[in-house]
Amino acid sequence: MARTTSMSGDSTALLADPRYELMPFDTFDDQIEHLPDGATVTITTSSQFGIERTIEAAEEAAEQGFEVVPHVSARYVRGDEHLAEIARRLIEIDVDDIFVPGGDREKPIGDYESAYDLLQGLERIDCNFEEVGITGYPEGHDFLSDETLAESMANKAPYATYVATQLCFDPNAVLEWITEIRARGVDLSVVVGIPGVMKYPRLLSISRKVGVGDSVRFLQKTNGILGFFRQLIGSRGNYTPDALVDGLEPHADDPEYNIQSLHIYTFNQVPDTESWRKSRLRDSSPHA
């Protein structure tokens, strides 16, 4: 069953019940063992294995008692018949929340060119999940204009219940983006995507690949170049999203922002992220 976190303006609320994104690679089974019992796990669609592996991983995670949010990526689905089969399998394991991105395939394998196409397909096959997420880009998109992104969101919003954002290091960029979509009439709740704990070189490499260069520059600008590298060395080479969570905390219970929860991009490095999260919660405890 989908869960909506009630925020209270502190890191305890923000980090008490986040979503954890895992990729369905060989490390999936090992990584999921480090998650809290009953945690919400979102499972990506891999260009290497396709959507079948996503569904299989969802079935495995659900059997272990996790709340599962599979990515049903449009360009990996052949058409309405294939979508109906996917939906049937997900409903059988009590999935009631799906995330619908376009997918990173250059060419779709079937009829769906975009997330909007797949959302329309869900309507045609008369399949209604309780929660449906769509993508949001606080820093824009490398290949799509802001106007195109706004039009796409306007088309998809009537089919969705929340927006999950691309990872971003700058809390102000996230908050400004939410203000912008509210001004355009999009009132969906927002799941804010944040990076988990990982080595700086890997984080910077991933960030460049997914097109969040502005966030990397934000890290350098905030700390200064020397400060940035001091942080790198002082943290033993690990990035932690403390500053990002700190910047979001004051707005966590603001109904205008309507932040539903955090979405942690773990990149299948759960133990370090979970150790950091538990430490934050201990530090925030009134009995700490």
CATH code at position 248: 3.20.20.220
Mean pLDDT estimate for the chain: 87
Q: Return the structure tokens found at 221.
A: 């600008």
pLDDT > 90? residue 26: yes
**pLDDT value for 211:** 46
Q: What is the pTM of this model?
A: 0.87
| 76 assigned to some structural domain | yes
**SS3 (DSSP) at 69:** strand
pLDDT > 70? residue 145: yes
Task: Provide mean pLDDT across the span 23-36.
Answer: 96
- Return d(Cα 172, Cα 211) in angstroms, integer: 18
**pLDDT value for 250:** 94
pLDDT per residue as tens digits for the range 247-257: 999 999 999 99
Residue 30 is part of which domain span? 11-198+240-279
| 112 assigned to some structural domain | yes
| 233 assigned to some structural domain | no
Q: In sequence order, which ranges of 2-133 are alpha helices (DSSP H)? A: 11-16, 28-32, 50-63, 80-92, 115-124
pLDDT > 70? residue 204: no
Q: How confident is the model at residue 238 (pLDDT cuts 50, 70, 90)?
A: confident
Concatenating the DSSP letter of every residue in 133-157 gives EEEE-TT--SSS-HHHHHHHHHHHG
**pLDDT value for 126:** 96
| 84 assigned to some structural domain | yes
- Return d(Cα 153, Cα 149) in angstroms, integer: 6
| 210 assigned to some structural domain | no
| 234 assigned to some structural domain | no
How many structural domains comprise the chain? 1
Q: How confident is the model at residue 263 (pLDDT cuts 50, 70, 90)?
A: very high
- Return d(Cα 150, Cα 177) in angstroms, integer: 11
Q: How confident is the model at residue 207 (pLDDT cuts 50, 70, 90)?
A: low
| 216 assigned to some structural domain | no
